[in-house]
Structure 1
Amino acid sequence: MLDVLAGEFARPMSQPFGVVVLRLCMAVLLGGALGWERELRNRAAGLRTHMLISLAAACFTLVALNLVDFTNATEAEQRIDPLRLIEAVTAGVAFLAAGSIIISHGSVRGLTTGASMWLCGAIGLCCGTGDLRLALLVTALALIVLSLVRAMFEKAARDEKEEEN
């Protein structure tokens, strides 16, 4: 009986286990890099949220890759569209990101956090498919946008204040 149950969970993966571990770990690390920046800014969606979003996206991608492994697939199984995965992850993360946006008394807060959450979903998809170079590049560019662009705006605001005085 236990052998039958164990067999139900022993489906072979299309990628070697070490590759799966690397892809998931990279998703956690890169999602965490964006989450760390949000955490430093005391945003509601911080380190753990971003790590989990990226990890979930990578997990969904790996599941989809395993489901569409066409090595021994029938013609009907080959008609599966793996791009639906991207649509599903995008929609799911967009739902979470929308929840982080707050509109109060004409002021909007949380847009950048929502965008970074959405981007973590994309980074997780990259990690899940094994495109680690793209995931690293996107993470680096996102960190540049989140930190350097913010610093430029803060400096411009300080300069403007000094000119008024």
Structure 2
Amino acid sequence: MCDWTVCSTIVLRLALALLVGTILGLNRWMHHKSAGIRTHSLVAIGSACAVMLISDFVQDDAQAVSRVLQGLITGLGFLGAGVIIREQHAQKVHGLTTAASLWATALIGAAFGAGQFALGLLTLGAILLTLVLGGPLERLIARLNGVKRSSEISGDPD
């Protein structure tokens, strides 16, 4: 699969992406924006996965691989936009976490397709950690900050 140095580098890079996504998502969530911890973390983790995936191809035709991944990333953005729903009457947006997870999932598939099994599995772990712990973390912070209105925090994952 991978040696200790390679795996620890992947873990470090994904952990830093997760940390940055969590910090930025927490900031946006605290300002009552629709994209919170999970959405930002998924985008950060997926981006880290994409960059690590592209950087591994320097011995191959990097431009060709980069073009393929660029098309994948752009195309999935449009697909993700299709799952985002805005409720006019409640002023809520739903589907951001799903859109981000679709985008990140496509990159995991690309990692597996390129033979980057450790990258794909470790990225999956980081995303599952985000999806499982992101909501409870948002709710814990809501309780600590006294957020009470349902429009400020979503009870469901999306």
> TM-score, with normalisation over the residues of structure 2?
0.48
Larger radius of gyration: 1
